[in-house]
């Protein structure tokens, strides 16, 4: 027993030594390469002026502001598209997941077709297609489609009524010869990303919801119906509380994937964190620093989500016990 | 008479079981009547099938312009590969697809299958790269389209697999340092988006590697995909390892097998068999994820489509038809893989896949 323990310690010491040697060698080579190519290192660029503009931003930003602020604006943009997309994909996905369990053949077929189509085509391709549809196939702003009164859809994006800034309670967009004036405008990049992420993730959410509900033993439904519960009651009081326990962990995983997938924004020019970091990388040449920043931010988001998921799981457990 | 009653019963059960179901049926049928004619009109009746840009402009999106596919299919499928030599990527793609198909359908027994792979992969590289057998050399910067997509996905899975097994075993190791390293690798990679790993491969690998040891971008990106896929795959395999009942370990030990022998002959085969469906899901993800390499300037299927259309003023307004075309190719690949996985699932048995 003693011998085995010593051997294990020996192996680990060797492993640690080998690892340190490789790391040392890599750092040495990297330092030599960087010196030769004149690449500087360090995070000092974060406080220098960014020198580039950001297409749209929740935070006020212009090119004289620091790179750190640019990256923060990028992160805010990531969250601005990811949070509504999480909401939409969860609602739509739940409906489609339930549709796949419907007794109605047509509805079931339609929902299955949706899931099988959206899941089996790369998200990047879907994003590019949505972006093309918005920017190329929609009419010009002066001939914008009117979806409902004061909601306009055109090449320039979606215009919505919004809270007025100067005294008026509400600011209504109006269509004129020069395009659309007033209201809040969602850019084509934002629209395409929101639409693409939501619809793609909804297919995965649907599968999660379906699997969760099917994981509840059939006897539970039979017993509930035998007790005289209606289908709606059966669903709300028996199936959902039990299904939630197996739905929530994979569902939070889907939300996390969605947030990571928001990084595909770089392909259609929406200034999310990765896009801004990519621009910074090209301007400053600080590849290692920029990539480390992207990874660190996403790791923190992952940890936060894992923590939130554990909390939700505890709560849903309690809720299931109570009802 | 019986027939009619049976049909009525079927209709009632499947379409009109209650008021809500009936309403849904009517709504969906109404939607179909409203939308389908327009869709068929656009896709077929008013569509232009000849590679005639003027005709497509005249139709002006009232019908699909499939002519764009007829005109550009070689560029879309093979990228910038020299036009006269495009029989080579075609043959290479067919070869690789044939081996993949034979593996999935179990057309060959294990020995022949290994031989087939051992022959097909070098043949693929010789056909694509040239330089021997009298083939003109074609640099990997000119590879593109479908063969590149297939190469990245296939090699990604093939190379990620052994790495994933090692990492999964490492996470079960009794050595805390090894276990910690493997866990760190898996959690790190799974926590970040693939794009950041591709950036790492494309921008950082050249700085990390010694001078004169430069490897081309295709290889670097392939390495990035392998590292990314292996992290996800190792979690799947770890699930399989945990699902093997403890009694199997004890029985193997009682038979006098050592730890590694037991792993090789008893535990791993059961663990891997149990997770074949989940591994197929990983394969589908890797196949779809290859589209991201277009962000680091490799022109696989998605990239070569943009390359083919973006610079061409005559055809650029017909991107949508191009997207539908390559979307169809991706769909066929992914759908057949997931069908295959579902077939395996029923073969493996519900018990093994419950975890």
The predicted pLDDT at position A182 comes to: 73
- Across A165-169, A188-192, A280-284, which has the greatest mean pLDDT? A188-192
pLDDT digits (tens, 9 = 90+) for A72-98: 999 999 999 999 999 999 999 999 999
Q: Note whether A195 and A89 are within 8 A (CB).
A: no
Q: Any bridge partners for residue A162, and if so which?
A: A171
Q: Flag if A287 and B323 touch (Cβ within 8 Å).
A: no
Residue A165 has pLDDT above 70, yes or no: no
Whether residue B42 is contained in a domain is answered as: no
Residue A320 has pLDDT above 60, yes or no: no
Q: Flag if A122 and B191 touch (Cβ within 8 Å).
A: no
B208 touches chain A (CB under 8 A): yes
- Reduced to 3 states, what is the DSSP secondary structure of residue A152? strand
Domains in chain B, number = 1
CA distance B157 to B151: 10
Q: Flag if B207 and A287 touch (Cβ within 8 Å).
A: yes
**Across the beta sheet with A157-160, what order do the strands follow?**
A145-148, A151-154, A157-160, A184-186
Q: Flag if B192 and A120 touch (Cβ within 8 Å).
A: no
Q: Any bridge partners for residue A180, and if so which?
A: A175
Closest to B28 (Cβ–Cβ): which among A106, A126, A266? Answer: A106
Q: Flag if A104 and B294 touch (Cβ within 8 Å).
A: no
Instruction: Count other Cβ atoms within 10 Å, centred on residue A210.
Output: 23
B258 touches chain A (CB under 8 A): no
CA distance A74 to A57: 8
B positions 61-90 inside 8 Å of A (CB): 61
Q: Flag if B177 and A15 touch (Cβ within 8 Å).
A: yes
Q: Note whether A241 and A305 are within 8 A (CB).
A: no
Closest to A104 (Cβ–Cβ): which among B21, B61, B291? Answer: B21
Closest to B291 (Cβ–Cβ): which among A8, A26, A124? Answer: A124
The predicted pLDDT at position B212 comes to: 66
Count of alpha carbons within 13 angstroms of residue A157, beta-carbon side: 18
Strands (E), A135-190: 145-148, 151-154, 157-160, 162-163, 170-171, 174-176, 179-181, 184-186
Q: Flag if A103 and B284 touch (Cβ within 8 Å).
A: no
* Local confidence band at A164 (pLDDT 50, 70, 90 cut-offs): low
Question: Which residue stretches of chain B have pLDDT < 50?
Answer: 350-355
DSSP 8-state code for residue A61: -
Q: How many contacts does A have with B, using Cβ atoms within 8 A? A: 151
The predicted pLDDT at position A200 comes to: 97
Whether residue B300 is contained in a domain is answered as: yes
- Reduced to 3 states, what is the DSSP secondary structure of residue A154? strand
Tell me how far CA of residue A247 lies from CA of A201, A276, B345, in angstroms: 15, 34, 21
> Best mutation site among B179, B193, B282 for testing chain A: the one with the most A CBs within 10 Å?
B193
Chain A: closest CA distance from residue B28 (Å):
7
Within chain A, residue ranges assigned H as helices are 2-37, 67-99, 105-119, 123-132, 188-214, 218-226, 231-233, 240-261, 265-268, 273-284, 287-322
Whether residue B109 is contained in a domain is answered as: no
Burial class (CB in 10 A: 0-12, 13-18, 19+), B59: middle
Tell me how far CA of residue B254 lies from CA of B222, B247, B250, B267, in angstroms: 43, 10, 6, 14
Q: Note whether B45 and B59 are within 8 A (CB).
A: no
N- to C-terminal Cα separation, chain B: 49
B289 touches chain A (CB under 8 A): yes
Chain B: closest CA distance from residue A12 (Å):
6
User: Residue B61: its chain A contacts at CB < 8 A?
Assistant: 137
Smallest CA-to-CA distance from B292 within A127, A205, A211, A233 is with A127
User: Residue B331: its chain A contacts at CB < 8 A?
Assistant: 117, 120-121
CA distance B217 to B195: 15
CA distance A114 to B28: 14
> Best mutation site among A35, A291, A304, A306 for testing chain B: the one with the most B CBs within 10 Å?
A291
Chain A: closest CA distance from residue B1 (Å):
24
Q: Any bridge partners for residue A154, and if so which?
A: A157
Q: Note whether B309 and B322 are within 8 A (CB).
A: yes
User: Residue B191: its chain A contacts at CB < 8 A?
Assistant: 295, 298-299, 302-303
Residue A202 has pLDDT above 60, yes or no: yes
What torsion do the CA atoms of A282, A283, A284, A285 make, to the nearest 10 degrees?
A: 30
B212's enclosing H/E stretch is none
Whether residue B342 is contained in a domain is answered as: yes
Chain B: closest CA distance from residue A284 (Å):
13
Closest to B192 (Cβ–Cβ): which among A119, A290, A298? Answer: A298
B23 touches chain A (CB under 8 A): no
Ranges A112-116, A208-212, A313-317, B195-199: which has the least confidence: A313-317
For the question of whether the overall pTM of this predicted structure is more than 0.80, the answer is: yes
Closest to B21 (Cβ–Cβ): which among A103, A110, A291? Answer: A103
CA nearest A122 in B: which residue? B288
Whether residue B61 is contained in a domain is answered as: no
CA distance A50 to A54: 10
The predicted pLDDT at position B213 comes to: 67
* Local confidence band at A323 (pLDDT 50, 70, 90 cut-offs): low
Residue A167 has pLDDT above 70, yes or no: no
Nearest 5°: the CA angle A250, A253, A257 is 140
Q: Flag if A263 and B181 touch (Cβ within 8 Å).
A: no
Q: Show the domain range for B248.
A: 139-353
CA nearest B19 in A: which residue? A104
Tell me how far CA of residue B289 lies from CA of B198, B224, B300, in angstroms: 11, 12, 11
Phi, psi (deg, nearest 5) at residue A228: 95, 15
CA nearest A38 in B: which residue? B207
A positions 207-266 inside 8 Å of B (CB): 260-261, 263-264, 266
| A67-120+197-322 topology per CATH | MetI-like fold (1.10.3720)
The predicted pLDDT at position B262 comes to: 87
The predicted pLDDT at position A44 comes to: 80
Whether residue B119 is contained in a domain is answered as: no
CA distance A252 to A248: 6
User: Residue B338: its chain A contacts at CB < 8 A?
Assistant: 119-120
The predicted pLDDT at position A317 comes to: 66
The distance from CA B31 to its chain's CA centroid, rounded to whole angstroms, is 34
DSSP 8-state code for residue A141: G
Q: Flag if B193 and A123 touch (Cβ within 8 Å).
A: no
The whole-number average pLDDT for the span A218-222 is 89
Tell me how far CA of residue B210 lies from CA of A23, A28, A241, B198, in angstroms: 13, 9, 58, 20
Q: Give me the helix-helix angle, B276-289 and B145-171, nearest 10°.
A: 140
pLDDT digits (tens, 9 = 90+) for A13-28: 898 899 899 889 888 8
Sequence-distant contacts of B218-221: CB under 8 A, at least 24 apart? B218/B140, B218/B141, B218/B143, B218/B148, B218/B298, B219/B140, B221/B152, B221/B293, B221/B296, B221/B298
Q: Flag if B323 and A32 touch (Cβ within 8 Å).
A: no
Q: Flag if B175 and A125 touch (Cβ within 8 Å).
A: no
Domain at B324, CATH number: 1.10.3720.10
DSSP 8-state code for residue B65: B
Residue A175 has pLDDT above 90, yes or no: no
The whole-number average pLDDT for the span A283-290 is 85
A positions 273-312 inside 8 Å of B (CB): 274, 278, 281, 287-288, 290-291, 294-295, 298-299, 302-303
Q: Flag if A125 and B306 touch (Cβ within 8 Å).
A: no
Q: Flag if B291 and A122 touch (Cβ within 8 Å).
A: yes
DSSP 8-state code for residue A49: B
Q: Flag if B193 and A274 touch (Cβ within 8 Å).
A: yes
């Amino acid at each position: 027993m003693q011998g085995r323990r010593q051997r294990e310690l020996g192996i680990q010491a060797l492993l640690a030594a080998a690892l340190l040697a490789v790391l040392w060698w890599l750092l040495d080579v990297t330092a030599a390469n960087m010196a030769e190519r004149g690449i500087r290192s360090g995070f000092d660029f974060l406080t220098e002026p960014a020198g580039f503009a950001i297409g749209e931003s929740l935070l006020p930003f212009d090119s004289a502001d620091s790179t750190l602020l640019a990256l923060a604006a990028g992160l805010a943009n990531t969250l601005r598209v990811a949070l509504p997309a999480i909401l939409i994909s969860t609602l739509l996905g739940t409906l489609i997941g339930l549709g796949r369990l419907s007794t109605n053949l047509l509805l079931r077929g339609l929902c299955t077709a949706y899931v099988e189509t959206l899941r089996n085509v790369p998200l990047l391709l879907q994003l590019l297609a949505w972006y093309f549809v918005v920017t190329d196939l929609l009419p010009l702003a002066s001939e914008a489609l009117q979806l409902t009164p004061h909601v306009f859809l055109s090449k320039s994006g979606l215009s919505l009524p919004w809270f007025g800034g100067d005294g008026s309670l509400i600011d209504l967009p109006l269509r004129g010869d020069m395009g659309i004036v007033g209201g809040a405008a969602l850019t084509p990049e934002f629209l395409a990303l929101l639409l693409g992420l939501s619809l793609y993730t909804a297919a995965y959410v649907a599968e999660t919801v379906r699997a969760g509900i099917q994981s509840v033993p059939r006897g539970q439904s039979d017993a509930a119906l035998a007790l005289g519960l209606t289908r709606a009651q059966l669903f709300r009081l028996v199936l959902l509380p039990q299904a939630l326990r197996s739905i929530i962990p994979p569902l939070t995983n889907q939300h996390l994937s969605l947030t990571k997938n928001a990084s595909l924004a770089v392909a259609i020019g929406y200034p999310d964190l990765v896009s801004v970091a990519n621009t910074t990388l090209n301007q400053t040449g600080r590849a290692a620093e920029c990539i480390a920043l992207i990874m660190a931010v996403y790791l923190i988001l992952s940890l936060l989500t894992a923590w939130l998921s554990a909390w939700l799981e505890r709560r849903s457990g309690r809720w299931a016990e109570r009802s | 008479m019986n027939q009619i009653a049976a049909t009525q019963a079927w209709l009632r059960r499947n379409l009109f079981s209650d008021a809500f179901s009936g309403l849904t049926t009517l709504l969906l049928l109404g939607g179909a009547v409203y939308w389908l004619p327009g869709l068929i009109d656009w896709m077929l009746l008013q569509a232009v099938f000849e590679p005639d840009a003027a005709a497509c402009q005249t139709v002006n999106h009232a019908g699909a312009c499939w002519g764009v596919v007829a005109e550009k299919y070689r560029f879309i499928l093979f990228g910038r590969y020299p036009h006269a030599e495009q029989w080579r990527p075609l043959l290479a793609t067919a070869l690789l697809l044939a081996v993949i198909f034979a593996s999935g359908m179990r057309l060959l027994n294990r020995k022949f299958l290994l031989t087939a792979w051992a022959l097909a992969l070098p043949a693929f590289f010789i056909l694509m790269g040239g330089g021997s057998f009298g083939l003109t050399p074609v640099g990997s910067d000119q590879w593109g389209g479908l063969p590149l997509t297939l190469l990245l996905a296939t090699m990604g899975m093939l190379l990620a697999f052994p790495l994933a097994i090692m990492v999964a075993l490492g996470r079960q190791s009794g050595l805390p340092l090894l276990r910690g390293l493997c866990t760190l690798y898996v959690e790190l990679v799974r926590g970040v988006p693939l794009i950041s790993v591709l950036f790492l491969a494309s921008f950082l690998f050249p700085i990390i590697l010694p001078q004169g040891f430069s490897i081309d971008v295709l290889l670097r990106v392939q390495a990035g995909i392998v590292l990314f896929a292996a992290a996800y795959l190792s979690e799947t395999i770890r699930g399989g390892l945990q699902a093997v009942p403890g009694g199997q370990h004890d029985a193997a030990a009682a038979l006098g097998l050592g730890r590694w022998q037991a792993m090789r002959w008893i535990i791993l085969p059961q663990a891997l068999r149990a997770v074949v469906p989940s591994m197929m899901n990983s394969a589908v993800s890797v196949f779809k994820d290859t589209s991201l390499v277009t962000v680091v300037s490799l022109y696989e299927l998605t990239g070569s489509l943009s390359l083919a259309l973006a610079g061409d003023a005559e055809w650029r307004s017909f991107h949508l038809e191009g997207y539908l075309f390559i979307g169809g190719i991706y769909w066929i690949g992914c759908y057949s893989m997931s069908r295959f996985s579902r077939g395996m699932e029923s073969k493996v048995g519900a018990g093994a896949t419950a975890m």
